[in-house]
Amino acid sequence: MSTGTDRVGRVAPYVAGIVAGAAMLAVGEALAALLRQRTGPVAAVAELVRDLTPAGLVKGFIELVGTADKPILVAIVTVGALALSALAGRWRFGWLVLVGLGVLASVAVLVNPGESGVGAARGALVVPPGLATCVGVACLAVLQDAARAAAREGRDATGATGATGGTGRRRFLVIAGGVALTAVVVGAAGRLAGRSRRTVEAAREALLDRLRATPGEVPAGAQLDVPGVGRWQVPGEQFYRIDTAFAVPLVDPDAWRLRIHGMVEKELELSLADLLDRPATEAWTTLCCVSNPVGGDLIGNAWWTGVRIAPLLAEAGVQAGADAVLQTSEDGWTCGTPLGVLTDDRDAMLAYAMNGEPLPIEHGFPVRVVVPGLYGYVSATKWVVDLEVTTFDAFEAYWTQRGWAPEGPVKTQSRVLVPRDGTRVRAGEVDIAGDAWAQHRGIEKVEVQVDGGPWTTCELGTVPSADTWVQWSTRVSCGPGDHTVVVRATDGDGETQTSVRTDVVPDGASGWHEVRFTAG
């Protein structure tokens, strides 16, 4: 009779750990679904595990289990987390285990290439693992406390006193059962909350064939063969992400409409089907962010497919006196774009495909604006729903209200990507390489200066137009010791980028990028 009580006392700490771990997992997954993130913490850890596993092993595993690889990995991570939580339940400092799991999950979501959020979007990424850890630790404390009471009671029962109250045991079972039940309910609610994202994800997949977008063939000679110089064409999952959306807007492509109105003769309303019926345009355009510091990586280049905006505005009939288009997104973000860049001959478009696929949800699905030559904050509205022809005098857009300039043409910039700052290379002939951009003016020349010596002109990769970045490289001889390399670019108008360093506010950073490395 007493052994039963004793057994409860012995297993209670493990149960406490598992239940606390389950609560932590449920909260993390539910929050990620609520914030409409692409992956929950568990899947992010599974993807991290996959990415850190040698490629050969991963291939063998996929050959073995086929398309079940993801669910299996997720199951392994879940079971692993619960097993560690069970052990944590036995340990006085078991909460450290949960914190460790939380840190692992936070790192996993932050390094996940599919979650390249910056700013609000990036902050939102660590909310699920962070809050989940807090909940897990709190549950563990309460459950361990109850488990200890139950165990004490078990010991007393087997002892000489023979007191068999059982209230501690019952209390533990009630608390553990309650937490477990709540975890199940929260987990189920999370599944439900994730449904809207899965629905839009499915609608996106269904569009794959309807778009007739080509995948984009990188022009010969654009991609330099220097390790570390990066990909000339950036895949959607690796493309930098900037927006104010804490939870990404989920737009049903069938219900999506774009209104073109304001100072026009005739308002237009377009559905996605209307756009797909119109002549498509396809172009390489490099997009970059005004808040990119010198040498920063808030820039990417992709092959965009969509409909040019100029003919649409012509069809609407722009009235005299208009000089701007106020763009609005589904989530209420706004930006103001000079009318001129939307009506001249550049490929300013309503893009519905990126690198031959429907836009990724994070990059504006189903339709966004892409304008060569302007920073994203004044041109590249994702989830766009409204274009109002107006005047700059008549409005203040989202970032203009917050101290940024009303107009934002891209400044000529260049960066050194090889060697990386602070790294060591072999002395001798050293590869120096990077990229440069001045969208819509183009890059004419890139020069580097090593250790304050003369400026050397670099070799440039080919480009299809003036609207993309250019990769450049050169080779210099570097003896053992510390070196610095500075880069500067000259744009298609013959203007060399200024060495004057400015902050990113109000209209983009200027200045030369400098990198230090050691040869030895």
- 82 and 26 Cβ atoms separated by less than 8 Å: no
Please give the C-alpha separations between residue 233 and each of 179, 201, 219, 344, 471, in angstroms, as whole numbers. Answer: 49, 23, 10, 26, 11
Task: Say whether residue 85 binds ligand MTE (CB under 6 A).
Answer: no
3-class SS letters over 156-218: HHHCCCCCCCCHHHHHHHHHHHHHHHHHHHHHHHHHHHCHHHHHHHHHHHHHCCCCCCCCCCC
Task: Say whether residue 287 binds ligand MTE (CB under 6 A).
Answer: yes
**Alpha-carbon span 188 to 195, nearest angstrom:** 11
Task: Say whether residue 333 binds ligand MTE (CB under 6 A).
Answer: yes
With CB under 5 to 8 Å by kind, the binding choice for 77 among Mo ion, ligand MTE, none is none
Which lies closer to ligand MTE via its Cβ, residue 36 or residue 363? 363
Task: Say whether residue 381 binds ligand MTE (CB under 6 A).
Answer: yes
- Segment 289 to 308, residues that bind Mo ion, using CB under 5 A: 289
Other Cβ atoms within 10 Å of 59 Cβ, number: 11
Candidate residues 167, 238, 244, 423; the one interacting with ligand MTE per rule CB under 6 A = 244
Candidate residues 241, 411, 415, 488; the one interacting with ligand MTE per rule CB under 6 A = 241
- 409 and 441 Cβ atoms separated by less than 8 Å: no
In whole angstroms, the minimum distance from the beta carbon of 493 to ligand MTE comes to 24
Residue whose beta carbon is closest to ligand MTE: 376
Sign of CA dihedral 489, 491, 496, 500: negative
Which lies closer to ligand MTE via its Cβ, residue 32 or residue 289? 289
With CB under 5 to 8 Å by kind, the binding choice for 287 among ligand MTE, Mo ion, none is ligand MTE
Candidate residues 383, 437, 512, 517; the one interacting with ligand MTE per rule CB under 6 A = 383
Task: Say whether residue 289 binds ligand MTE (CB under 6 A).
Answer: yes
Angle at 93 between CA 89 and CA 94, to 5 degrees: 30
Task: Say whether residue 483 binds ligand MTE (CB under 6 A).
Answer: no
Task: Say whether residue 242 binds ligand MTE (CB under 6 A).
Answer: yes
- 515 and 419 Cβ atoms separated by less than 8 Å: yes
Task: Say whether residue 363 binds ligand MTE (CB under 6 A).
Answer: yes
Candidate residues 97, 105, 211, 380; the one interacting with ligand MTE per rule CB under 6 A = 380
- Segment 377 to 396, residues that bind Mo ion, using CB under 5 A: 377
Which lies closer to Mo ion via its Cβ, residue 284 or residue 377? 377
Longest dimension (CA), the chain: 99
**Alpha-carbon span 120 to 127, nearest angstrom:** 11
Do you find a cis peptide bond into 128, omega within 30 degrees of 0?
no
Q: Name the site residues for ligand MTE (rule: CB under 6 A).
A: 239-244, 287, 289, 329, 331, 333, 363, 376-377, 380-383
Residues that bind Mo ion (CB under 5 A): 242, 289, 376-377
